[in-house]
Structure 1
Amino acid sequence: MTSENAAITGDLRTKIISEPELILEDRDLMRALIAANEKVMGGNIVDLRGIAMERLESRLERLEETHRHVIAAAYENLAGTNMIHRAVLKMLDPAEFEEFLANLNNEIAEILRVDALRLVLESAVANDDPAARDLGDVLLVVEPGFIGEYLTQGRNVPVRQVTLRQVQPDSDLIYGDRADWVRSEACLKLDLGPGRLPGMLVFGAEDPHQFKPSQGTDLLTFFAGVFERAMRRWLS
């Protein structure tokens, strides 16, 4: 085809001839060219190359979508890891138990982005004991057996170290005046050492999707392990 009868003339034609990869890399242009070629061939001819290209494009789109999901999950996991590490470092700062509890209820809760945080300890000491009240509202002392009952909700199921679930508390025992708007929670069961009753760290969130059973628990399991060791030090 000469420049005299070519439909594309001038700088555009020169650009296409010198850099044809610009068209090959443009999906919309390639689709338009394939559609034009099919019209020229007529409806009774099957273009196997065009079909193959469509299938390859479909596979490429699926691969790209999977790639985006993998990258997003990796960034989310990295952000979660950094958040847990910051909370652990902040948890190791206090030199007194009262400061440790105050820090837990304020800075650590803020770092972990939870709306309510409660440390539950089983003990024969009543929760209205003055010594317990002096340690702040983050600490809740309960009767032996309460934690297992709370985690299983009365069902005959194994007690896991980390329980994630959507809830609507029917009492204010755990969350106090925040119980009305807590819609999901993470419960971390604590092993406080030989001869001691268990404990539990509870994170409450207003967002019903912040803690769900389908989520991974590796980071919270790590946090629970560090917290257990810190509590054993305070209780020794």
Structure 2
Amino acid sequence: MSDSMTKEIDTDENNITKEDVLSYLAQNPDFLKTTPEAADLLVPSKDKKNGRKVADFQYYLVEKARADKANVEKQTQDIIETARSNMHNQTRMHAAVLKLLEAESFQDFIHIITMDLNAILNVDLTCLVIESDASHAAALNLNGIRIVPEGTISAWMGAKEHILESDIYGVEEIYGGGAGLVRSQALLRIDVSAMTPPAILAFGSRDPNTFQAGQGVELISFLTRVIERSMRAWLNVPG
């Protein structure tokens, strides 16, 4: 409380009069603006005149102040929750990258992608899908990689580097027996080398809204780039 206020009003609440309060508010017209919580203590009146209800502008001003205060509080809370969520997702992605770097063999690397990333990133399925002809399919499947015919990934992705879809049903070509579980997905093109076939990294979730068109893809795109570079090292191919 300011010095001028303490001079005009006794700190003993029993000695504060209505005139004291009105005088202070007159001298401090921005009081409700700078102290919005005070609006919650006000009980605006609705007067009647000649039997008719009269619009009380003070009432509406107070109600507007309360609504503005609630709106600011909600926006602030939304910002805080978004920041927390972003930080949490970033922490998950860091953990995923560190796990990939711990791989002791290429088979272990693929196992981490297709099994361990599910728990780390809180998704239900993570699949690595590669185009190949039948002669190489058996060998690749031993490494836990899903194989699709040549041209399939181009048909799915077109010229896009990533696709995020909500409220969908997973396809067996990507998710195998778990396709029925998938209700939203993120598909990211993997460009290992000009010497390797087209591939995608697919994340599937049972929540229809985990992945949605328009979401930011910076973190999962970063993970994809890490996987590309790691695969080049394991396969000893140029970028």
Q: Please give the TM-score of this superposition, normalised by the length of structure 2.
A: 0.75
Q: Work out which of the residue numbers 64, 68, 72 in structure 1 matches 2:73.
A: 64
- What amino acid is the match of 1:109? N
Question: Deviation digits for residues 56-96 of structure 1, max 9, x if unmatched?
Answer: 22222222211111111111111111111110110111121
Query: Could you say which residue in structure 2 is the equivalent of 1:121?
Result: 130
**What are the equivalent positions in structure 2 for 1:46-195 lying under 5 Å apart?**
47-126=56-135, 128-129=137-138, 131-136=139-144, 139-152=145-158, 159-166=159-166, 167-169=168-170, 171-195=171-195
**Which deviates more, 75-84 or 50-59?**
50-59
Aligned residues: 208
Cα displacement (A) at 1:46: 5.6
Task: Check the 8 A contact 2:47/2:56 in 1, yes or no.
Answer: no
State the 1:25 CA deviation.
3.9
Aligned equivalents of 2:141, 2:165: Cα separation in 1: 29
- Deviation digits for residues 201-221 of structure 1 (CA, Å, limit 9, x no counterpart): 111111111111132211111
Q: Which has the higher helix share?
A: 2
Shift of 1:160: 2.3
2:197 corresponds to: 197
Letter in 2 for 1:119: L
Structure 2 residues not aligned, in runs of 5+? 1-11, 22-30
Query: For residue 25 of structure 2, what is the aligned residue in structure 1?
Result: none
Aligned letter for 1:145? G
Report the CA distance shift for 1:55/1:140 in structure 2 as closer, same or farther (over 3 A).
Answer: same
2:24 aligned partner: none
Give the match's secondary structure for 1:215: coil
Matched, 1:230 2:230: yes
SS in 1 for 2:180: coil
Partner amino acid, structure 2, of 1:140? R
Provide the rounded CA distance (Å) in 2 between the counterparts of 1:185 and 1:225. Answer: 18
User: 1:167-201: per-residue Cα shift (whole Å, max 9, x none)?
Assistant: 213x5222111112211111110111234322111
The secondary structure found in structure 1 opposite 2:173 is coil
Provide the rounded CA distance (Å) in 1 between the counterparts of 2:37 and 2:155: 61
| Counterpart Cα distance in 1 of 2:74 and 2:137 | 56
In structure 1, stretches of 5+ residues that fail to align are: 1-11, 153-158
Report SS of the residue matched to 2:196: coil
1:15 and 1:189 mapped to 2: Cα distance? 74
The percentage of counterpart residues that share the same residue type is 29
Aligned counterpart, 2:212 = 212
Q: Does structure 1 conserve the Cα–Cα contact (< 8 Å) formed by 2:190 and 2:199?
A: yes
8 Å Cα contact 2:39/2:65 also seen in 1: no
Question: SS of 1:212's equivalent?
Answer: coil
